[in-house]
Structure 1
Amino acid sequence: MDKNKVILIIDDDQNNIFALKLALKSRGFQALGCLSAEEGIAQLQGNSTIAVVLMDMMMPEIDGYEATRLIRQSWSSVRLPIIAVTAQAMPGDREKCLAAGANGYISKPIDIELLVHMLGELAG
């Protein structure tokens, strides 16, 4: 992934955003954090530097499934990788995330090396 591009983290937990931003920064990536799906969707509008979205699937108001569907509807002509990030790791959860429009799935706690590998595959 181009190091000039930005990873957008959408998660309702400020601690998760902080930890992910720190881990990604230590590997040379830039990241933005948003505490809600609404804020994340607003951040996407007119921001061409965002290369990938890390979407928490379990958020209040608009959850990650709905947010992913909204992004896919609004930016259908843009190839924007979305990685579902969730504590849900039961059988069928990965498929549910992919059916909502995510390109990848990673469970919490996040294996940062696996995430970096996914970023390379999806946004490389």
Structure 2
Amino acid sequence: MPIILLVEDNEMNRDMLSRRLTRRGHEVLMAVDGKQGVAIAQDQQPHLILMDMSLPVLDGWEATRQLKAMPKTQHIPIIALTAHAMAGDRQKCIEVGCDDYDTKPIDFNRLLTKIQALLTSPTP
């Protein structure tokens, strides 16, 4: 069963996404800020991380940088989740180490397609 770490500070988003992912057969771990997300990722080694970019304590940009800099977590695919849908935002997410990017409000089917693509692609 694929394990997904959802790093999201908004309780409604966390609840909705975790329930829908669980129904699709994923085990979902949750963190409410970037610092907690980094710690859980190191400890639990999820198969994929959904990273909100606007987080308290440690934002998603810095949390992603840290995860991609650590040998233990650098292989874990990260999908950035952000309400920022400006032209350069996708590129900024990729530059800090995200493997993909999706905008809020979440289109669950589109996100699921991206999750499946990353979970089935061979890891380098």
Which consecutive residues of structure 2, in runs of 5 or more, have no partner in the other structure?
A: none
Q: Name the SS of the counterpart of 2:51 in structure 1.
A: strand
Alpha-carbon offset, residue 62 of structure 1: 1.3
TM-score (normalised: structure 2): 0.90
How many Å separate the matches in 2 of 1:105 and 1:43? 21
What amino acid is aligned across from residue 63 of structure 1 in structure 2?
D
What amino acid is aligned across from residue 39 of structure 1 in structure 2?
Q
- CA pair 91-39 structure 1, distance change in 2 beyond 3 A: same
Q: Name the SS of the counterpart of 2:117 in structure 1.
A: helix
What amino acid is aligned across from residue 7 of structure 1 in structure 2?
I
Query: Is 1:60–2:59 an aligned residue pair?
Result: no
| Deviation beyond 6 Å, 4+ runs, structure 1 | none
How many Å separate the matches in 2 of 1:26 and 1:44? 22
% identity of equivalent residues: 37
Query: Is 1:13–2:10 an aligned residue pair?
Result: yes
1:84 aligned residue (72, 80, 83): 80
How many Å separate the matches in 1 of 2:50 and 2:26? 13
Query: Is 1:40–2:37 an aligned residue pair?
Result: yes
What amino acid is aligned across from residue 99 of structure 1 in structure 2?
E
- CA pair 44-77 structure 1, distance change in 2 beyond 3 A: closer
Q: RMSD of aligned C-alpha atoms?
A: 1.4
Aligned to 1:109: 105
Aligned to 1:93: 89
TM-score (normalised: structure 1): 0.90
How many Å separate the matches in 2 of 1:114 and 1:99? 22
Alpha-carbon offset, residue 75 of structure 1: 3.1
Deviations 1:5-40 (A, max 9, x none): 210000111221111001112222221111011111
Which consecutive residues of structure 1, in runs of 5 or more, have no partner in the other structure?
A: none
- CA pair 92-76 structure 1, distance change in 2 beyond 3 A: farther
